[in-house]
């Protein structure tokens, strides 16, 4: 049985936050995000951190290093909440390990995923003929829930991953819904048309491997045994119609 992976490593300027009652501990961490590939400029990319374990919370409560740089490791989550009955979304990094001082001053926002595709790869082209491939990847994990008989509940997180160019297109064009993929890249955010709708989290893929191809060719029987539900509905922010076509990824790939 393949185990899904959802791992984020951030290094950047850290602004800790502890609520007045001390229960909610986290903060924001800023990393440099690539701008358009034809420009050497960069812009700040802010990540919302939520400490989950006692060790992570204590590291933030006592955070007072000589420099603002911090290294945070965790798991990506896109949380839904309601405002006047309408769904809103927030992207968060759940921290299980203590926040530490990094060994290097290089800012980064790296994410590694291993999971299943929720749909076939969405392949489209820019006006200049650049192939833009969108992968919708699901990762599953379990968390404690005292309200369930088993004491645990399974949660699925959907990730939007972007690849570019003909080589990437040829690599993914045989993938189908339920295919298992492994990838790593840069975690970044794109604003929605309406600011109140939050931002779309996107992964600019730097490495992609397809360990699930051999299993897929043998049949689809293993899809349910891995815990992946091929019929699960995807969140609305991951629809192909919202896939951006303005990237110029020469700097990234």
Give residue-wise pLDDT tens across range 26-53.
999 999 755 444 444 556 799 999 999 9
pLDDT for 233 equals 53
Mean pLDDT of 179-193: 90
Residue 95 — pLDDT band, cuts 50, 70, 90? very high
Q: Which of 33-37, 98-102, 220-224 has the lowest mean pLDDT?
A: 220-224
214 has pLDDT over 80: no
What domains can be seen in the chain, in order of their start residue?
5-228 (2.40.50.140)
Radius of gyration of the chain (CA): 19
Q: What is the distance between the alpha carbons of residues 183 and 50, in angstroms, rounded to a whole number? A: 24
φ and ψ of 202, to 5 deg: -130, 150
* Region label for 100, one of left (φ > 0), alpha (ψ between -120 and 50) or beta (otherwise): beta
Rounded mean pLDDT of 46-66? 95
Contact 168, 175 (CB under 8 A): no
- Res 230: pLDDT: 52
Question: Confidence class of residue 228 from pLDDT cuts 50, 70 and 90?
Answer: low
28 neighbors 51 (Cβ within 8 angstroms): no
245 pLDDT more than 50: no
HSE, CB side, 13 Å, CA atoms: give it for residue 167: 5
Report the pLDDT value the prediction gives residue 60, as an integer from 0 to 100.
97
Contact 1, 212 (CB under 8 A): no
pLDDT at 85: 84
Segment among 84-93, 107-116, 123-132 with least mean pLDDT: 84-93
Per DSSP, 232 falls in state P
Whether residue 249 has pLDDT greater than 70: no
pLDDT of residue 215 exceeding 60: no
In this prediction, residue 42 carries a pLDDT of 56
Q: Quick one: pLDDT band at residue 177, thresholds 50, 70, 90?
A: very high
What's the mean pLDDT when you consider all of the chain?
81
Residue 212 pLDDT: 58
In order of 33, 109, 174, 175, 187, the CA distances from 40 in angstroms are 11, 18, 35, 34, 19
pLDDT at 145: 65
Q: How far apart are CA 17 and CA 50, in angstroms?
A: 9
Mean pLDDT of 139-150: 76
Among 35-44, 62-71, 94-103, which stretch is predicted with the lowest mean pLDDT?
A: 35-44
């Amino acid at each position: 049985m393949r185990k899904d992976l959802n791992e984020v490593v951030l290094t950047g300027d850290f602004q800790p936050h502890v609520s007045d009652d001390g229960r909610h501990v986290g903060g924001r961490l800023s990393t440099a995000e690539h701008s358009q590939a034809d420009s050497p400029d960069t812009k700040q990319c802010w990540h919302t951190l939520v400490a989950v374990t006692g060790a992570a919370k204590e590291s933030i409560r006592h955070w007072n290093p000589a420099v603002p740089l911090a290294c945070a490791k965790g798991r990506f989550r896109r949380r839904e909440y309601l405002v006047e009955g309408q769904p809103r979304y927030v992207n968060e990094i759940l921290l299980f390990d203590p926040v530490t001082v990094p060994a290097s001053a290089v800012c980064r926002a790296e994410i590694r995923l291993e999971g299943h595709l929720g749909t076939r790869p969405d392949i489209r082209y820019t006006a200049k003929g650049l192939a833009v491939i969108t992968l919708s990847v699901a990762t599953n994990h379990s968390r404690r829930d005292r309200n369930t008989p088993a004491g645990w509940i399974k949660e699925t997180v959907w990730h939007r991953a972007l690849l570019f160019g003909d080589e990437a297109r040829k690599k993914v064009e045989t993938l189908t819904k339920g295919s298992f993929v492994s990838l790593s890249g840069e975690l970044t955010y794109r604003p929605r048309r309406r600011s109140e709708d939050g931002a779309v989290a996107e992964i600019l893929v730097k490495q992609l491997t397809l360990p699930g191809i051999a299993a897929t060719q043998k049949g689809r029987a293993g899809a349910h045994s891995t815990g992946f539900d091929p019929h699960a509905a995807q969140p609305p922010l991951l629809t192909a119609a919202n896939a951006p076509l303005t990237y110029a990824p020469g700097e990234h790939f």
